[in-house]
Amino acid sequence: MKNSLFVLFLFVIGLANAQDTYLQCGKIVDVESGKILSEKTIIVSRNKIKEIKNGYVSGNDTDMVVDLKSKTILPGFIDMHVHIESESSPSRYLEAFTLNEADVAFQSTVYAKRTLMAGFTTVRDLGGSGVNIALKKAINKGTIVGPRIFTAGKSLASTGGHADPTNGRSQELMGDPGPKEGVVNSPEDGRKAVRQRYKDGADVIKITATGGVLSVAKSGQNPQFTIEEIKAITDTAKDYGMLTAAHAHGDEGMQRAILGGIKTIEHGTLMSEETMDLMIKHNTFMVPTISAGQEAARLAKIPNYLPPVVAKKALEIGPKLNETFAKAYKKGVSIAVGTDSGVSPHGDNAKEFVYMNKAGMPVIETLRSATITNAMLLGEADLGQIKEGYIADIVAVNENPLNNVETLTDVVFVMKEGVVYKQ
């Protein structure tokens, strides 16, 4: 009897594993060519795209058929700049003293699910408390629902810099954080900080090359690392196969980051044409995060929402992102899509497509940037396209986004690694 039950169990498991999913698609956006493919069926087996057939076909009785004949299908989007642990609120600065790690972890699961439901199946998390590493692991295990995460863990700063976790605290609480806490003041500190991030389980390295908007420090643009410190960080990151990113608003800090070997410049608000030329020469990518600039400027106008020192910087820097991005794109700087969600609400990530398009980037190029380009930067060769053999990260919207970019903000179907999460 026990043997019979065991055989039946194996049979049932075998049936489940053999089940394929047939997505009957009205239109598919080929992000590589820019063409629209009509009346196709995507056959998904386990976590990959097995085959793409002409017309609407279905499999056997054990297979699942999903009717998307009235929808437009795209590869899952990739956001290269989020902060998945938190979100802007009037109490954000107090929460550093009131929330425990468990509180941060529970709220991050809400933000992760929102992000996935918005069609972003992969994100690069560029700094939090370290809970983001545990979140990544929980999603990978299937414990909670969320996008695939590549995380920096805790980002790196200099003493008093944008990501120094003790900024704004009293002398008693300030202490003297070092590389373990993500504070770097020499090339040696930089090497140790990268190795600590690797030990902690981070995937990428992020530095704050200049001052920032939302930290309670006076300058939002001064350079905060030397080239020697940056080079020590990027060289060590390269040893460990880790992509590097630099938060940067000020021009001098950007130039140091580029010359020091950083691969992506986040924000780039006050970027000069000289720096644009430098980015092109060194094949450095700009992640414009227009969403964050728009949201920071909006919040700064709400009385008492942000501390005065932060509100002042937000009004000065936030509105400039749009204009700088437009200039950089027209000049030929390589662009990677990232939102800085956490500053803007999680789940609103697709508004970045709208902002980028309004600034002059054609919709197909924004989509290519958020899929093919971002997958390439992350070193994920089987993400970012709807092709046979690729990971089955697939989303659907109601209209053709090449005709109406706003439709990207209303994703109606989400599949990640062959599993349907929204339909």
DSSP codes, 56-68: -----TTSEEEEE
* Averages of pLDDT over each 10 residues, the chain, 423 residues: 46 58 98 98 98 96 96 98 91 76 94 98 96 97 97 92 67 74 95 98 96 69 93 98 96 97 97 98 98 90 86 82 96 98 97 98 98 98 98 98 98 98 96
Alpha carbons 107 and 394: distance in angstroms, whole number: 26
Furthest-apart CA atoms within the chain: distance in Å: 78
Query: Could you tell me if 325 and 359 are in contact, meaning their C-beta atoms sit under 8 angstroms apart?
Result: yes
Alpha carbons 122 and 107: distance in angstroms, whole number: 19
Query: Could you tell me if 267 and 247 are in contact, meaning their C-beta atoms sit under 8 angstroms apart?
Result: yes
Query: Which residues neighbour 380 within 8 Å (Cβ) at sequence distance 6 or greater?
Result: 122, 391
Token representation of residue 90: 């009037």
From residue 121, give the alpha-carbon distance in Å to each of 147, 193, 281, 347, 412: 5, 29, 31, 12, 14
Which run of H or E residues covers position 420?
strand 419-422
Which run of H or E residues covers position 117?
helix 101-117
Query: Could you tell me if 116 and 395 are in contact, meaning their C-beta atoms sit under 8 angstroms apart?
Result: no
Token representation of residue 278: 């430098």
User: What pLDDT score was predicted for residue 375?
Assistant: 98
DSSP per residue over 356-373, as a string?
HHHTT--HHHHHHIIIII
Query: Could you tell me if 215 and 162 are in contact, meaning their C-beta atoms sit under 8 angstroms apart?
Result: yes
User: What pLDDT score was predicted for residue 7?
Assistant: 39
User: What pLDDT score was predicted for residue 222?
Assistant: 87
Alpha carbons 187 and 268: distance in angstroms, whole number: 24
Query: Could you tell me if 211 and 141 are in contact, meaning their C-beta atoms sit under 8 angstroms apart?
Result: no
User: What pLDDT score was predicted for residue 26?
Assistant: 98
CA-closest candidate to residue 230, choices 176, 275, 191, 271: 191
Helix axes 251-259, 227-239, angle to 10 degrees: 40
CA-closest candidate to residue 413, choices 51, 40, 147, 119: 119
User: What pLDDT score was predicted for residue 307?
Assistant: 82
Query: Could you tell me if 332 and 284 are in contact, meaning their C-beta atoms sit under 8 angstroms apart?
Result: no
Query: Could you tell me if 381 and 373 are in contact, meaning their C-beta atoms sit under 8 angstroms apart?
Result: no
DSSP per residue over 238-304, as a string?
HHTT--EEEEE-SHHHHHHHHHTT-SEEEE-TT--HHHHHHHHHHTPEEE--HHHHHHHHHHHTSTT
